[in-house]
Structure 1
Amino acid sequence: MKKTQYSARRVEILERHLTEVIKDLLLVDVADYIAFIRCELFGNIADIVNSATELTFYPNTLTFGHGGEYHLDWNSTPTVTLDLEFSNMGVNAYFRLILSAHSTEIDLHHLRFAETGRSPAENTALLEAAFADAHLPQFTASESTD
C-alpha cells in the first residue's frame, strides 16, 4: 500500500489491536511455521491463527489468508510472513504479518470499505471502530465468580 499519513495511522491501529494475537503467534516454534509453509500445509497455519485469535476476536473476523513465506539463511534471524485478513462492519483489511525473534511488522496491502465515498479520515475512524467492535468482551476475575 502506498505510504500516506492515513496508512501510517491505519498500521498503528492494526498493531495496537493485534498485540495479544502476535504474542500468541510467537509462541509457535519458527521451525513449525517454516515446515508448514514449505510443505504447503496452510490449513495447519490457519488452525494456529484461529487458536491465537479465539480469545481476542469474534470468530471469522481475523483469519489466515492462505499464504505465507519464510526467509531462512545462515547469516540472519529467520523471519516468517503470514497473510492475514480482517473483516468486520463492512471493513476488509488485507495485510502481511512479518514475525521474527527481534521484531514484528505489519505490511498493510489493501483496505476495502463497503460504503464508498467516505473521506480518508472517516475510513480510518471506521477501521478503528471495526476493530474495537470485533474484540470479545474481556472479563476480570471478579466478574467471572459472580
Structure 2
Amino acid sequence: MKKTQYSATRVDIISGHLTEVVDDLRLVDVADYIAFIRCELFGNIADIVNSATELTFYPDTLTFGLGGEYTLDWNTAPKVMLDLEFKNMGVNAYFRLTLGADSTEIDLHHVRFAETGRSPADNTALLAAAFENARLPQLTASENLG
C-alpha cells in the first residue's frame, strides 16, 4: 500500500491492538513457523493464530490469511512473515505481520470499507472503531477471582 498519513495512522491502530496477539505468537518457536511454511502446513499456522487471538478478539475477526514467508540465512536472525486478515463492522484489513528477533512490523496491504464515500479520516476512525468493537471485554483481577 502506498504510504500516506492515513496508512501510517492505520498501521498504528492495527499494531496497538495486536500487542497481546504478538506476545502469544512469539510463544511458538521460530523453527516451527519455518517448518510449517516450508512444508506448506498453513492449517497449523491458522490454528496457532486462532489460539493467539481467542482471548483478545471475537472469533473470526482476526484470522490467518493462508500465506506466509520466512527469511533465514547465515548472517541474520530469522524473520517470519504471516498474512493476516481482519474483518468487522464492514471493514476488511489485509496486512502482513513480520516477527523478528527484536522487532515486529506491519505492512498494510489493503483496507476495504463496505460504505464508500466517506473521507479518509472517517474511514480511519471506522477502522479504529472496528478494532475496538472486535476486542473481547477484559476481566479485571477481582472478576477473575470472583
Q: Which residue identity does 1:36 align to in structure 2?
A: F
Aligned position for 2:129: 129
Please, which runs of 5 or more residues in structure 2 have no aligned partner?
Answer: none
TM-score, length basis structure 1: 0.98
Deviations 1:27-76 (A, max 9, x none): 11000000000000000000000000000000000000000000000000
Paired with 2:77 and 2:14, the residues of 1 have a C-alpha distance of: 24
Q: State the match for 2:66 in structure 1.
A: 66
Deviations 1:120-141 (A, max 9, x none): 0000000000000000000112
- Tell me, in whole angstroms, the C-alpha distance in 2 between the residues paired with 1:103 and 1:139: 29
Instruction: Name the CA distance, whole Å, in 1 between partners of 2:101 and 2:138.
Output: 28
SS in 2 for 1:117: coil
- 2:90 and 2:140 map into 1 onto residues whose CA distance is 30
Which runs of 5 or more structure 1 residues have no equivalent in the other structure?
Answer: none
Runs of 4+ in 1 over 4 A off after TM superposition: none
C-alpha deviation, 1:77, in angstroms: 0.5
| CA RMSD in angstroms, aligned pairs only | 0.7
Partners of 2:18 and 2:45 lie apart in 1 by 17
Structure 1: how far apart are the matches of 2:106 and 2:144?
Answer: 34
Distance in 2 separating the partners of 1:47 and 1:105: 21
**Structure 1 residue 49 and structure 2 residue 73: aligned?**
no
* Corresponding position: 1:92 with 2:92: yes
Deviation at 1:82, TM superposition (A): 0.1
SS in 2 for 1:3: coil
Q: Name the SS of the counterpart of 1:124 in structure 2.
A: helix
1:16 aligns with 2:3: no
Which residue does 1:106 correspond to in 2? 106
Q: Percent identity?
A: 80
Report how many aligned residue pairs link the two structures: 146
Measure, in 2, the Cα distance between the counterparts of 1:28 and 1:103: 16
- What amino acid sits opposite 1:75 in the alignment? N
Structure 1 residue 143, shift from structure 2 partner: 1.8
Report Cα offsets for 1:87-138 as digits up to 9, x if no partner.
Answer: 0000000000000111010000000000000000000000000000000000
The corresponding residue for 1:32 is 32
Amino acid at match of 1:115: E
